[in-house]
Structure 1
Amino acid sequence: MSQTILISGASGFIASHVIRLFLESGFKVRGTVRSEVSAKIVRETHAEYADALSFAFVKDISAPGAFDEAVKGVDGVIHTASPFILDAEDYDKELFNPAVNGTVSILKAVKEHNPSVKRIVVTSSFGAILDYTAGHQPGYIYTEADWNPMTANEAHGADPVAAYLVSKTLAEKAAFEFVETQKPSFSIVTVAPPLVYGPLLHGYESMSKLNTSSADIYRLFNGSSKEVPDTVFWACVDVRDVAKAHLLAYQTPTAANQRYIISAGSFSYQIFCNIIRARFPELVATTPEDKSSLPFPDVYKLDTTKAKNELGIAFRPIKETLMDTVTSLKELEKITA
């Protein structure tokens, strides 16, 4: 009998690929969504697996007892739901509280209502590892031993991006603290990717409704960016590899209570634009050309040795990810035109 996996935030970009991979791997999936509208989109995205897909409605992940019913009867949990807001104004209300309370709520629900669950995988972020204020940090190599040092109090005086990164830090630390203090019957694994790109699985009614990372690529070739944007985060990974990391983290016994950096390597928007112009001739006129002679700067690197050795994961080349993303967006553009 196949296992049923609860996947929170089922309508999200990363979650759509996680759901697809678990379904393809023979699992049944129960996805949490806020509304029937979201459930309909997820159903249509995975229509060929309709018999293995069900839903639980969770309108507010930070509400007390939000996941109490959703966790009943499942064999494992993948927690992807967390606010991804890069222009928040009220950091506590929009970021910190829902990120932390949502994570603790699902862990608490499993502990109290489903002791048969043995593994919960939490989607964290490289933002919980990166020292955002440290700049390029030439020669520095980030590992899972690093933590974002910015506190919530410090974040209140910083920009919204910094606040988002802190929300991921607070949520991940809260997850490990819960396991340490509450001694549940399950172990957790956290997966920490940097910027996540890749092809879309579900459609959008218009290109203006794209998820954040897809919109980040779309602006590079749709004519809206007249110059190559400044690169802020210097690493990325394919969403399909992020999904694979979640599956492996769930299946690997030795991954218990570990965190893993999931990254394909370094990139810059200049490199992305160069690839788009070279591989998609029809987009040359709308993709900015960087005419500077500056080389790729000496910036920090991410060490993925632990994920490769312990999870056995391999990463797609960044060029493949970008080309698949652009192709996917061009196809969606035709449909929504």
Structure 2
Amino acid sequence: MKTVGIIGGAGFIGSYITKKFLKKGFNVKVSVTDIKKSEKYKHLFNLENSDNLNISSLRVENLEVLKDFISDCELVIHGGTPFQLDVKDPQTELFNPTIKGTENFLEAISETPSIEKVVFIASVAAWNTNFPLPSHGKNPTDTFNENDKKYINTESHPYAQAKFMANQTVEKFTKDHPTLHFEITSVSPVGVMGKSLSNREDSTSTGLQFLFKNNIAPNPFVQMLYDTNAEFAIVDVIDVAEAIFKAATISGLHGKNYLLSSETYPISDLNLMLNHQTPKNKASVVYENTMARNDLGIQFRPVQETLNSYSEQL
């Protein structure tokens, strides 16, 4: 029985990853930032095979604790970046934990001989920090795939910039270390939506679905999405977890970064689907998913199914 360490394994995406590895018979170690806040991870003990689950406290900025966490792991999933839109201090809240945490993580895995495979949960922002708006030089309906040039805009949201820079750090590390004893694979999901496994109310992903369902704009960013009726690419959280499991357990994927996306709809149609109404527009595929379908064998769920799943929990 192999051991997988999942940094951020109690979050919205992380919970589904934890569920998948437990179901497949792995020993699963999950890190949380504050072990005292049991309400953020207690739902994991309701999962199948939770006897094989261990929760421990970890901040990726703490190198020694990080090394200890992964010391007996064969597989490691790094999904510990906080996804947040309302940011008061970008340096402290986003850039430090994202970029410094990535640098620490790369150092730690290099010194851990048991590791066979590492998966980074990046973001579509690793390719285009303007998301959900189109990349530089593209129209909203132009397609985007892994062969397109990565684009960073210094006026983009700090979260997007942090994810872009963290991914650049991983790419440079991979290039500078051609004889690693493990493989590194990254996945870059677009807007991740679906039903939460917990009752937490602090998930940005579930929060966005609530806002879109009710046409609420708590900040200029969300208001801009409504004003422009932005084309929004979505992927189901279940499919993201499946892709991460495949990326972690299939060999020969070293250095690849997979875009994970299903369909794209304008915001007005997301509102309709979240309210169990029929969208007015046909789905398009702006962020292409051919590489993920071919290499990982993922069949992406339709967006309408994903958004209905969220609505059913209300």
Sort the TM-score into its range (normalised by shorter chain): 0.7 to 0.9
Q: Equivalent of 1:211, from 203, 206, 220?
A: 203
Q: Which amino acid aligns with 1:267?
A: Y
Match of 1:130 in 2: 128
Matched, 1:247 2:245: yes
The separation in 2 between residues aligned to 1:265 and 1:73, in whole angstroms, is 39
TM superposition score normalised by structure 1: 0.81
Percent identity among equivalent residues? 27
Equivalent-residue separation in structure 2 for 1:63 and 1:170 (angstroms): 20
Asked if 1:184 corresponds to 2:180, the answer is: yes
Which position in structure 2 is the counterpart of 1:173? 168
Pairwise CA distance, 1:232: 4.2
The aligned counterpart of 1:57 is 57
TM-score, normalised by the number of residues in structure 2: 0.86
Alpha-carbon shift at residue 28 of structure 1 (Å): 1.4
**Equivalent residue, structure 1, for 2:273:** 275
Partner of 1:97: 96
Please identify, of 81-90 and 11-20, the stretch whose mean Cα deviation from structure 2 is larger. Answer: 81-90
Q: What count of residue pairs does the alignment treat as equivalent?
A: 302
Change in 2 beyond 3 A, CA 1:233/1:71: farther
- CA deviation digits over 1:116-136, x for unaligned, max 9? 211100001111112626386
The Cα offsets for residues 123-164 of structure 1, whole Å up to 9 and x where unpaired, read as 0111111262638615532111335422xxx62xx25x2x21
Superposed, 1:1-337 pairs within 5 Å as 2-39=1-38, 41-47=40-46, 48-58=48-58, 60-112=59-111, 114-130=112-128, 132=130, 134=136, 137-150=139-152, 155=154, 158-159=155-156, 161=157, 163-182=158-177, 183-204=179-200, 209-222=201-214, 224=216, 229-230=226-227, 231-232=229-230, 234-279=232-277, 301-328=286-313, 330=314
8 Å contact 1:138–1:300 — kept in the other structure?
A: no
Q: Are 2:34 and 2:57, in contact at CA under 8 Å, matched by a contact in 1?
A: yes
Cα distance between partner residues in 2 of 1:229 and 1:138: 15
CA separation of 1:135/1:274 partners in 2, compared to 1, >3 Å: closer, same or farther?
farther
Residues of 1 paired with 2:212 and 2:91: CA distance? 32
Rate the CA distance shift 1:40–1:115 in 2: closer, same or farther, 3 A.
farther
Quote the residue 1:333 is aligned against.
none
CA distance in 2, matches of 1:234, 1:256: 29
SS in structure 1 opposite 2:312?
helix
Name the CA shift for 1:26/1:256 in 2 (closer, same or farther; >3 Å).
Answer: same
SS at match of 1:191: strand
**Quick one: distance in 1 between partners of 2:27 and 2:76?**
12
Q: CA deviation at 1:165?
A: 1.1
In structure 2, what residue type is equivalent to 1:50? S
Can you list the C-alpha shifts for 1:164-210, whole angstroms capped at 9, x where unaligned?
11111111111121222234311111100110001110113xxxx34
- Matched residue type, 2:93: E
CA contact (8 A) 1:193 1:263 kept: yes
Secondary structure of the structure 2 residue equivalent to 1:234: strand
In terms of fraction of residues, the more helix-rich structure is 1
Q: Which 5+ residue runs of structure 2 have no aligned equivalent? A: none
Q: Is the 8 A contact 1:39 1:55 kept in 2?
A: no
Question: What is the CA-CA distance between 1:15 and the residue it aligns to?
Answer: 0.3
Q: Deviations over 1:243-263 (max 9, x none)?
A: 000001011112222110110
Q: 1:51 to 1:176 in 2, by over 3 A?
A: same
Counterpart amino acid of residue 70 in structure 1: F
Q: Is this contact kept in 2: 1:11–1:38, CA < 8 A?
A: no
CA deviation after TM superposition for structure 1 residue 14, in Å: 0.5
CA distance in 2, matches of 1:300, 1:19: 29
Separation in structure 2 between the aligned mates of residue 217 and residue 5 of structure 1, nearest angstrom? 30
- Between stretches 183-192 and 87-96, larger displacement belongs to 87-96
- What secondary structure is seen at the aligned counterpart in 2 of 1:216? helix
Question: 1:10 Cα shift?
Answer: 2.1
* Cα contact 2:144–2:288 (8 A) shared by 1: yes
Residues 235 and 263 in structure 1, CA contact (< 8 A), matched pair in contact too? yes
Contact 1:82/1:98, CA 8 A, preserved across alignment: yes
Q: Root-mean-square deviation (CA), in Å?
A: 2.8
Q: Write the letter of the residue equivalent to 1:176.
A: E
